[in-house]
Chain A
Amino acid sequence: MNSKLFSNITRFIILVFLQVLILNNINFAGYINPHLYVLFILLYPFAGNQSLFLFLSFLLGLSVDIFEDSGGINAAACLVAAFARPNLLRFSFGISYDHQNIRLAAAPFGSKLSYVFLMVVLHHFVLFSLEMFSLNHILLILKKTLFSSIFTVILTLLSLTLFSKKYR
């Protein structure tokens, strides 16, 4: 239990710093940045306390917001993603979620991809909608969501593969 707590705290801090110091400066093709810090929400223990999880996700988004000067958009996006996670998990992993015995590293690639993709798209859509804050820019919102999501999903899957031994 303690090692789990420790690894989650470390992951939280490392991801926030990685996000604000490196990933926010990529600006691929002018505006595409991966938001890899969603990885914390993806990897948080599935059987953990749900209320604490919501609160931690909020805190994660807020930390990134403070660095990015963006009000509360990351916090809101993380919160929505965290709140929708049980449903998306059930959708992607089916029966094994109900028995609480998913191991993300050992899961079949298809369900892993759908879980990561849905979470990231949801998070990014809320994020960019709140950033633009107007329906006039719906096309720009969708464009940003699509491209940034692709970037984030690729990076997420890569880091899941690279660091999979740790979480087994």
Chain B
Amino acid sequence: MQQIFNFLIRNKNSILFLLLFVVSVFLTIQNHAFHKSRFISSANFVSGGVYSWSSNINTYLHLDEYNERLLEENNKLRNIISNIHDSISVEKQLDSTSFEGDYLFRTARVINNNFSKVDNYLTLNRGKRSGIEQEFGVITSQGIVGIVDRVNENYSRVISILNSRSRINAQLNNTNHFGSLVWDGKDPNIVQLIDVPRQAPLQKGDTIITGGRSLIYPKGLPIGSIQDFKLDQTQSYYTINIKLFNDMTNIGYVYVIENVNKEEIKKLQDTNEQ
């Protein structure tokens, strides 16, 4: 017994080291599992508070830019409104059939944004109190940003599309061939669309939009344009490099999308499975 105690006391630093190391590796692994990071995230009272304080200052420096973006978006929306009676010229991206009030939009400000790591997250200054919940989509006027994965009273954390665990359903604008949007961790302006069947007619510069299969994003939101593409190892699917329309390194304000019918659709799909 004495010897055991002596051993413990002699090696207390190594034991402490191992213990704490196991804890941190455990936290790391947990963070790598989708939807399971329960303990630690920046959507808490302290870090959320600090980030929103620093972003309050930061926003002032970008006011010009945000105004310009708003102007651009207003211009786009005005164009759509003025043409709305002429059913032929309604822009395909905002097809009226996909915006029948199934989706609810909320605005939020990005108070923290990462893009230099492999698994990137954003923090928003809205949370449960503003009606935000898990698995809501997040977009800007130019393209998509990510999916809400943790919600606190006042803050929420978003899995960026620049995250190795993010998989978003996307499709070609011209045809209905679809694939999964992933990121290889290299360039924050380029994401990859994988598993697109070989039959799909591809051309450089083609637009990629969200596919309506995920219950998170409405169909038809612009994502980016094809930069280049090649067949994968099986020779039957394309891997496409996509240049994003929105600059992920510079995001100010975002829209959070709620799919109002999500529960209903989910219930229906669950009964199908049984």
- A residues with CB within 8 A of B: 17, 20-21, 24, 27, 30-33, 50-51, 54-55, 58, 61-62, 65-73, 75-76, 79-80, 83, 130-133, 137, 140
Contact = CB atoms under 8 A, between A and B. Distances in A.
B16 A55 contact: yes
B40 A65 contact: yes
Contacts of A73: 24, 28
Interface stretch (B101-109, B114-122, B124-132, B175-183): B114-122
A75 B20 contact: yes
A32 B188 CA distance: 13
Nearest to B249: A27
Given A51-B12, A72-B24, A72-B27, A30 B17 contact: no
A32 to B, nearest CB: 8
B116 A61 contact: no
B13 interface: yes
B29 A21 contact: no
Nearest to B33: A71
Contacts of A33: 116
A57 to B, nearest CB: 9
A8 to B, nearest CB: 19
B37 interface: yes
Interface in B39-62: 40-42, 44, 46-47, 50-51, 54
Interface residues of B, number: 42
Contact of B24 (A32, A62, A133): A62
B13 A72 contact: no
- Specify the main secondary structure of chain A where it touches its partner: helix
Contacts of B17: 54, 79, 83
A149 to B, nearest CB: 15
Counting from the closest, the 5 A-B pairs by CB-CB distance are A71-B31, A72-B27, A72-B24, A76-B24, A75-B24
17 contacts: A24-B114, A27-B116, A31-B116, A33-B116, A51-B16, A54-B13, A55-B16, A66-B46, A69-B114, A70-B31, A71-B24, A72-B27, A79-B24, A83-B17, A132-B185, A133-B28, A133-B32
A130 B25 contact: yes
B119 A58 contact: no
A30 B42 contact: no
Contacts of B32: 71, 133
B142 interface: no
B24 A30 contact: no
A79 B23 CA distance: 11
A70 B31 CA distance: 7
Contacts of A71: 24, 27-32, 37, 40
B246 to A, nearest CB: 17
Contacts of A27: 115-116, 249
A65 B27 contact: yes
Given A17-B50, A72-B26, A132 B118 contact: yes
